[in-house]
Structure 1
Amino acid sequence: MHSTQVLIRPMVSEKSNDLKEVQNKVVFAVHPGANKFQVKNAVESIFNVKVDKVNIIRRQPLQRKRFGRVSGKIPGYKKAFITLAAGDKIEFFEGV
């Protein structure tokens, strides 16, 4: 899998912004078949930073219920919490 296919998008939320400022971590939605080594290599090659640690979690798909009946499905996804080395940064929306 090519490194541009591994990272899907950055996950931007209040929690991910706090992690970025306090613990120097960034959060990405990643390809469901990607592993930690592929994510680490993709981030290092695309953003030219050093990665210390990668944690991956997977959210299961959920059934959407309305009035007690199942009316669809909320898709699952995989996301990676990436700890960067001291002094390295990835800026997404600076100057906006």
Structure 2
Amino acid sequence: MDILRKPVLTEKATLQTEKHNRYTFQCDQRANKLQIRSAIEAMYGVSILSVNTMVVVGKLKTRSTKAGMVSGRAAKYKKAVVTLKEGEVIDFYSNI
């Protein structure tokens, strides 16, 4: 099971990083907080204070086609907000 999918790089997540040293990741839905903590510590070599998780429900999507209106839903996913210790930093752009 691949625990970490990708970092969430939205405006809100970037603001949390700058103000509170919190980083946001999209995770596997079956992963728990302990697995997420160990995966981030192993991948980035940082020490973590806390892990908060939430399941984000996908938005309702509709589009108009020849056959009429088609409605569906975007996929739901688990999001983890990780608070690092003071002075610790994760650089997402170092391995590009």
Match of 2:74 in 1: 74
Give the greater-gyration-radius structure (CA).
2
Match of 1:90 in 2: 90
> 2:93, 2:10 → 1: CA distance?
13
> 1:37, 1:13 → 2: CA distance?
25
- Give the paired residue count: 92
8 Å Cα contact 1:58-1:78 kept in structure 2 = yes
Identity of aligned residues (%): 33
Match of 2:16 in 1: 19
> 2:93, 2:14 → 1: CA distance?
11
Question: Could you tell me the TM-score, scaled by structure 1's length?
Answer: 0.84
In structure 2, runs of 5+ residues without a counterpart are none
Question: Could you tell me the TM-score, scaled by structure 2's length?
Answer: 0.84
TM-superposed CA distance for 1:45, in Å, is: 0.8
TM-superposed CA distance for 1:38, in Å, is: 0.3
